[in-house]
């Protein structure tokens, strides 16, 4: 049975298509990932499915309820953990959960039992009486996950659940998410721009870029699309010529360059490295670094979009800094 079914879902803001005619379905009990950089349309998609935004066109069903016609029933069937913290720092962990449970109409005895269960699930029982303002970032995310589960949702939306956390805490959150999915049988829709997070957690992944899906499959199948090995060469000088010559060599499946790094997909890549370096040098370029690895989701993203996710983030941050600089100049 389908937990989510989406057909041609579109959202436009002032003529800009934030989400552009996407269609997909998610099975009950599946852990489904939306992978892409900030601005790709992930959060807008989640907000429409959670009935926080009205679609411009298209339809979506969550737990059998149409998102634009049966909003109350959709909301009762879902839990949401937002990007931005939504906890009351002046309440204890237990008080935050109790307030949320009351909002969903759970009676006193049910609230007491359910709060105990979810606190144990996210290992915060011993901190239940502590003010949230004294929680670490990882503890707050775990409490938000517990809050999203308090009313027995059939579908849980996690929007960038590990954003801003250190690597160790992020890994712990991953384990909680996997445990929820497997032991509690909760269908989970996860948005992230961390490639390793999507690879580790998700049964299937949709890669989003510019509001649309550029690929959708299991992590392994996505990586198998490229096949073989990926040899990345960091080159200096005559980059276009090197890309042209190496990309046309026999046995090169794909050649993609971003910046000074040229990534080539081929079979038995370790045997061909000397040949690749020789051709680059003949083109007048210097090879400063060579890397050999099996295809990753980063390589898949690069293949489908022509850009690395980190490049997109850097470019977006640079544009944001430039806008702030211009505003400050005008004010001065």
Beta bridge partners of 236: 286
- What is the model's pLDDT at position 198? 94
Give 199's contacts (C-beta < 8 A, 6+ positions apart).
205, 219, 296, 297
What DSSP string runs through 283-328? TT-EEEEEEEE---HHHHHHHHHSS-HHHHHHHHHHHHHHHHHHHH
pLDDT per residue as tens digits for the range 304-332: 876 655 444 444 444 443 433 444 444 44
User: Could you tell me the strand order of the sheet in which 229-236 lies?
Assistant: 254-258, 261-266, 229-236, 286-293
| pLDDT tens track for 106-131 | 999 999 999 999 999 888 999 999 99
The per-residue pLDDT for 332 is 45
Asked if the 228-294 domain carries CATH number 3.30.1360.30, the reply is no
**Structure token pair of residue 133:** 């303002």
The predicted pLDDT at position 320 comes to 41
Give the right CATH number for 2-218 from 3.40.640.10, 3.30.230.10, 3.40.50.300, 3.30.70.250. 3.40.50.300
**Cβ count near 315 (within 10 Å):** 12
DSSP state letter for 91: S
pLDDT for the residue numbered 316: 44
Calpha distance 32→204 (Å, rounded): 5
Please report the pLDDT score of residue 39 as a whole number: 87
Q: How far is CA 55 from CA 18, 45, 328, in A?
A: 11, 9, 36
pLDDT tens profile 168-188: 888 988 998 998 899 888 999
For 173, phi then psi, to 5°, come to -65, -40
pLDDT band at 23 (very low <50, low <70, confident <90, very high): very high
| Closest to 254 in 3D by CA, of 287, 225, 278, 215 | 225
The pLDDT of 242-271, averaged and rounded, is 92
**pLDDT (tens digit per residue) in 48-62:** 999 999 999 999 999
Q: Do the strands 155-159 and 78-81 form a parallel or antiparallel pair, or are they unpaired?
A: parallel
Q: What whole-number distance in Å separates Cα of residue 19 and Cα of residue 8?
A: 10
Mean pLDDT (the chain) is: 89
pLDDT in tens, 139-168: 999 999 999 999 989 999 999 988 888 888
User: How is the chain split into domains, by residue range?
Assistant: 2-218, 228-294
If one counts every other C-beta atom within 10 angstroms of the C-beta of residue 200, the result is 15
Q: Would you say the CATH fold of 228-294 matches that of 2-218?
A: no
């Amino acid at each position: 049975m389908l937990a989510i079914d989406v057909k041609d879902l579109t959202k436009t803001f002032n003529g800009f298509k934030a989400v552009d005619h996407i269609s997909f379905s998610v099975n009950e009990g599946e852990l489904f990932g939306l992978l892409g950089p900030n601005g790709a349309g992930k959060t807008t998609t989640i907000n429409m499915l959670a009935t926080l935004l009205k679609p411009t066109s298209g339809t979506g069903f969550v737990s059998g309820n149409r998102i634009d016609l049966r909003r109350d029933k959709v909301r009762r069937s879902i839990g949401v953990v937002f990007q931005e913290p939504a906890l009351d720092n002046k309440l204890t962990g237990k008080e935050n959960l109790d307030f949320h449970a009351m909002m969903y109409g759970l009676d006193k005895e049910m609230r007491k039992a359910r709060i105990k269960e979810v606190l144990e699930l996210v290992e915060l029982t011993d901190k239940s009486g502590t003010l949230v303002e004294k929680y670490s970032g990882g503890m707050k995310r775990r409490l938000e996950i517990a809050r999203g589960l308090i009313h027995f949702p059939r579908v849980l939306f996690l929007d960038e659940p590990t954003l801003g956390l250190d690597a160790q805490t992020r890994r712990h959150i991953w384990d909680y998410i996997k445990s929820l999915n497997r032991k509690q049988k909760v269908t989970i829709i996860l948005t992230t721009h961390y490639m390793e997070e999507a690879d580790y957690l998700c049964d299937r992944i949709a890669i989003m870029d510019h509001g649309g899906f550029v690929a959708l499959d299991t992590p392994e199948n996505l990586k198998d699309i490229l096949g073989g090995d990926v040899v990345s060469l960091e080159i200096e000088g005559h980059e276009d010529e090197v890309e042209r010559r190496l990309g046309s060599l026999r046995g090169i499946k794909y050649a993609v360059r971003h910046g000074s790094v040229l990534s080539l997909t081929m079979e038995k890549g370790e045997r061909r490295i000397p040949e690749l370096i020789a051709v680059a040098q003949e083109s007048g370029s210097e090879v400063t670094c060579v890397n050999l690895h099996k295809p990753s989701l980063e390589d898949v993203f690069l293949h489908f979009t022509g850009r690395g996710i980190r490049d997109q983030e850097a470019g977006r941050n640079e544009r944001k800094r430039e806008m702030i600089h211009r505003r400050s100049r005008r004010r001065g």
